[in-house]
């Protein structure tokens, strides 16, 4: 019998001795803060029936761990404390003095895509306030969250404010054509906003009837943050929320002088139960998101008598890291790091960066990390496939890569700017004159874009088998190793030379400037400034063009 692997399952960890003691110290500190603030502890089960949580968990139903017990009941492990607390307390609310202030602690578990450092188990402490719809209740919860992070210097914290439903309200108000045409147009604009596609959103808003100044203000705010005192928010549908956001920002700065506060409506959590103010507290320089929450009136009514509610959760591991971080709050940041591939995009990327004021010297072929002449930037030279991963996990702040690599990586990054080079398309390619669906057999697909290919065939419900390949992909179809291939087409000459034809375009692709979510939190002004300069250079390169024109060009290369 072979010895068991020393590894634990992906995404879980054990804490021994000092690490366990550190976690407990942080946990007890948070619990004392909550107890002193009048919150009483509630112990919630780790297991429940699955059906009550359909459509309401913050992480999405597909990420819950579900299983059948011996009695045939479908059960789920705890993935989100807030709906579980609502389910437990709502039927008992009538017998409790209002408002109800409670807290809980424990672990939640949920499935996460495989990848660098992605946990599946999270130790949390959270608090909820039921039965108080006042603005002061929102402030009470936010002040309590800030008090729980009191050991982290204010200069290392960033508070991001949002408001559920406010972003679509803004887009609909300034560009009514987005709604009048068809609902999907507004949804496409929201996707552009949440992925920070600055140029594309501005173009879409103008096409929906927004004037140029309003379209540009909203697009720029995707990176720089929204200003609730702007005339943009004077519209009746927006004014109340804007006043509340301004008041919350002032109150937070009074509680923690030196705290950075940003209104980021594009970053409002997509949790289905939020109905008003949302807030996220991040630690700069390590630790990541410490916690967050918001108002969710209506959730308790799903499980019993309805009542207004507001709450938050704190990640204990992130708080422990931030509390013990050795780096002082006023330490100079490292140079802004930009990653790019060493292949066909490199020359034009260096030229564009140089035009935008970031002047990197020519590489010597050996060094992979190069400083610019000012010392404020660094260039990280990678394989194209690795650029999204480095950016997503903070090894680089930004990067330039084809959006085909972004789609294949599965990483969540911001995509503020499409660049006027690197146009090609990811396509399904087969042998000329042959049916690519063998009778009764799965389609054999050769590709190095495994995830994209699987999504493509799954969406069409076509049985398939992916054959992973690292290069010379077209030969697999030409030599009948596979039925079809999924690969990039730039000129089409290689494809034609081997008797192959394009069967369908899967994804237009071009060079894209991407930004990590950590960089957006920690270096927001640098990101906004660099994207602004790059956008100006892109506009000079194609003065008569538009984002829509660039997208069309990518499909015809």
Q: Domain of 275?
A: 18-157+271-324
Domain match, 45 and 143 both: yes
In a structure prediction context, what are the per-residue pLDDT tens digits for the chain, which is 557 residues long? 678 889 999 899 999 999 999 999 999 999 999 999 999 999 999 999 999 999 887 656 788 999 999 999 999 999 999 999 999 999 999 999 999 999 999 999 998 776 666 899 999 999 999 999 999 999 999 999 999 999 999 999 999 999 999 999 999 999 999 987 655 689 999 999 999 999 999 999 999 999 999 999 999 999 999 999 999 999 888 999 999 999 999 999 999 999 999 999 999 998 999 999 999 999 988 667 999 999 999 999 999 999 999 999 999 999 999 998 756 656 678 999 999 999 889 999 999 999 999 999 876 667 899 999 999 999 999 999 999 999 999 999 999 999 999 999 999 999 999 999 999 999 999 999 887 776 778 999 999 999 999 999 999 999 999 999 998 999 999 999 999 999 999 888 999 999 999 999 999 999 999 999 999 999 999 999 999 999 999 998 765 444 444 334 433 34
Q: Read off the CATH number of the domain in which 70 is found.
A: 3.30.930.10
In a domain? residue 248: no
458: left (phi over 0), alpha (psi -120 to 50) or beta: alpha
The DSSP code sequence of 11-42 is T-----THHHHHHHHHHHHHHHHHHHTT-EE-
The Cα 325–Cα 341 span in angstroms is: 32
Q: How many domains does the chain have?
A: 4
Asked if residues 407 and 507 have their Cβ atoms less than 8 Å apart, the reply is yes
249 within some domain: no
3-state helix, strand, coil in the chain (%, to 5): 40, 25, 35
Same domain, 408 and 515: yes
Q: How far apart are CA 291 and CA 124, in angstroms?
A: 9
Same domain, 49 and 186: no
∠ at Cα 410 (405, 416), nearest 5°? 65
Q: Report angle CA 321, 326, 332 to the nearest 5 degrees.
A: 115
- Distance in angstroms (rounded) separating the CA atoms of residues 262 and 526: 14
SS3 state of residue 397: coil
The pLDDT score that the predictor gives to residue 545 is 44
Residue 418 lies in a domain: yes
> 38 with 138, same domain?
yes
Residues 184 and 305 grouped into a single domain? no
Do 292 and 410 sit in the same domain of this protein? no
Contact status, residue 11 vs residue 121, Cβ threshold 8 Å: yes
Residues 104 and 26 in one domain: yes
pLDDT in tens, 433-489: 887 776 778 999 999 999 999 999 999 999 999 999 998 999 999 999 999 999 999
Torsion, Cα 177 179 180 184, to 10 degrees, reads 110
In a domain, 252, yes or no: no
CATH code of the domain in which 354 resides: 3.40.190.10
Please state whether beta strands 369-371 and 414-418 pair in parallel, antiparallel, or not at all (unpaired). Answer: unpaired
Half-sphere exposure of 152 (CA within 13 A, CB side): 31
In this structure, is residue 22 part of a structural domain? yes
Q: Which of 555, 551, 463, 552 is nearest to 504 (CA)?
A: 555
313 and 180 housed in the same domain: no
Q: pLDDT tens digits for 398-432?
A: 999 999 999 999 999 999 999 999 999 999 999 99
Domain-ending residue, one of 509, 524, 543: 509
Would 76 be classed as within a structural domain? yes
Residues 377 and 450 in one domain: no
Q: Do 56 and 126 lie in a common domain? A: yes
Asked whether residue 36 falls in the same domain as residue 118, the answer is yes
Asked whether residue 63 is assigned to any structural domain, the reply reads yes
In a domain, 286, yes or no: yes
Do residues 144 and 187 share a domain?
A: no
Residue showing tokens 């993935």:
79
């Amino acid at each position: 019998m072979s010895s068991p692997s020393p590894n634990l399952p992906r995404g879980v960890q054990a804490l021994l001795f000092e690490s366990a003691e550190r976690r407990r110290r942080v946990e007890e500190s948070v619990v004392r803060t909550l107890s002193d603030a009048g919150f009483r502890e509630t112990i919630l089960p780790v297991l429940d029936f699955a059906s009550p949580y359909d459509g309401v968990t913050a992480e999405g139903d597909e990420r819950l761990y579900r299983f059948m017990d011996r009695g045939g009941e479908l059960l789920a492990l705890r993935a989100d404390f807030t709906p579980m607390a609502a389910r437990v307390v709502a039927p008992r609310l009538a017998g409790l003095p209002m408002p109800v202030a409670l807290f809980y602690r424990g672990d939640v578990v949920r499935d996460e895509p495989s990848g660098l450092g992605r946990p599946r188990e999270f130790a949390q402490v959270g608090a909820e306030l039921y039965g108080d719809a006042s603005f002061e209740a929102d402030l009470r919860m936010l002040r309590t969250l800030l008090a729980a992070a009191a050991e982290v210097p204010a200069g290392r914290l960033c508070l991001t404010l949002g408001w559920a439903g406010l972003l679509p309200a803004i887009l609909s108000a300034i560009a009514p054509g987005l709604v009048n045409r068809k609902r999907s147009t507004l949804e496409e604009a929201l996707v552009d906003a949440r992925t920070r596609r600055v140029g594309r959103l501005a173009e879409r808003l103008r096409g929906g009837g927004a004037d140029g100044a309003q379209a540009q203000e909203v697009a720029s705010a995707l990176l720089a943050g929204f200003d609730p005192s702007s005339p943009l928010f004077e519209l009746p549908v927006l004014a109340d929320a804007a006043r509340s956001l301004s008041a919350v920002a002032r109150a937070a700065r009074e509680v923690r002088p030196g705290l950075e506060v940003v209104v980021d409506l594009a970053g409002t959590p997509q949790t289905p139960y939020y109905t008003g103010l949302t807030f996220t507290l991040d630690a700069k320089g390590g630790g990541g998101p410490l916690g967050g929450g918001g108002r969710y009136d209506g959730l308790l009514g799903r499980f019993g008598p309805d009542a207004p509610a507001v709450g938050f959760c704190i990640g204990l591991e992130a708080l422990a890291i931030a509390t013990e971080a050795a780096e002082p709050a006023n330490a100079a940041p490292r140079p802004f790091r930009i990653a790019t591939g060493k292949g066909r995009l490199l020359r034009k990327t260096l030229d564009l960066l140089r035009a935008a004021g970031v002047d990197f010297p020519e590489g010597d072929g050996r060094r992979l990390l190069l400083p610019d002449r000012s010392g404020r930037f660094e260039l990280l030279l990678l394989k194209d496939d690795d650029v999204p991963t480095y950016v997503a996990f903070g090894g680089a702040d930004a990067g330039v890569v084809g959006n085909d690599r972004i789609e294949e990586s599965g990483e969540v990054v911001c995509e503020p700017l499409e660049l006027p080079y690197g146009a090609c398309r990811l396509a399904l390619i087969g042998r000329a004159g042959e049916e690519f669906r063998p009778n009764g057999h799965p389609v054999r697909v050769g590709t190095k874009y495994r995830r994209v290919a699987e999504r493509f065939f799954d969406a069409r419900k076509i049985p398939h088998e992916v054959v992973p390949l690292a290069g010379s992909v077209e030969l697999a179809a030409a030599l009948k190793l596979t039925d079809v291939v999924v690969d990039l087409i730039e000129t089409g000459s290689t494809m034609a030379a081997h008797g192959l034809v394009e069967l369908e375009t899967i994804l237009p692709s071009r060079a894209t400037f991407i930004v990590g979510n950590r960089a957006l939190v920690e270096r927001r002004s640098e990101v906004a400034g660099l994207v602004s300069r790059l956008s100006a250079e892109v506009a000079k390169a194609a003065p008569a063009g538009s984002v829509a024109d660039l997208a069309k060009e990518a499909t015809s290369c």
